[in-house]
Amino acid sequence: MEIWINPACSKCRSALTLLDAEGADYTVRRYLEEVPSEDEIRDVLDRLGLEPWDITRTQEAAAGELGLKEWARDAASRARWITALAGHPELIQRPIITADDGTAVVARTDEAVRDALSR
């Protein structure tokens, strides 16, 4: 499995601590440094079963600068959201774990991390 993290994020650090405690085999991706491409974001969204606005941190400064709160949340606007996430990775909710079974979870709680571990 792979986990997308921001090392400054307490939820990310908690997820890593739990993964380590469970002896999980995982790869860390510091997504602010190794920015996901639009195709990778699409893949993760498909694995999550979510839309880009569902994993967007709308309280970030970049979201305000882009005016994201006013953007349409529909199929016609999906590509625009994905482009914004690729161009401003700090807008991506974290941590995200891609599980070995092809699914993914936004692992902001211990329960979500355990869910990823069970897959």
| Pair 104, 47: CB distance under 8 Å | yes
Catalytic residue of the set 1, 9, 32, 48: 9
Q: How many CB atoms lie within 10 A of CB 10?
A: 8
| Pair 51, 93: CB distance under 8 Å | no
- For residues 53-88, one letter each, b for 16 or more C-beta atoms within 10 angstroms of the residue's C-beta and e for the rest, the string is bebbeeeeebbeebebeebeeeeeebeebbebbbeb
Q: Is 12 a catalytic residue?
A: no
For the annotated catalytic residues, the residue numbers are 9
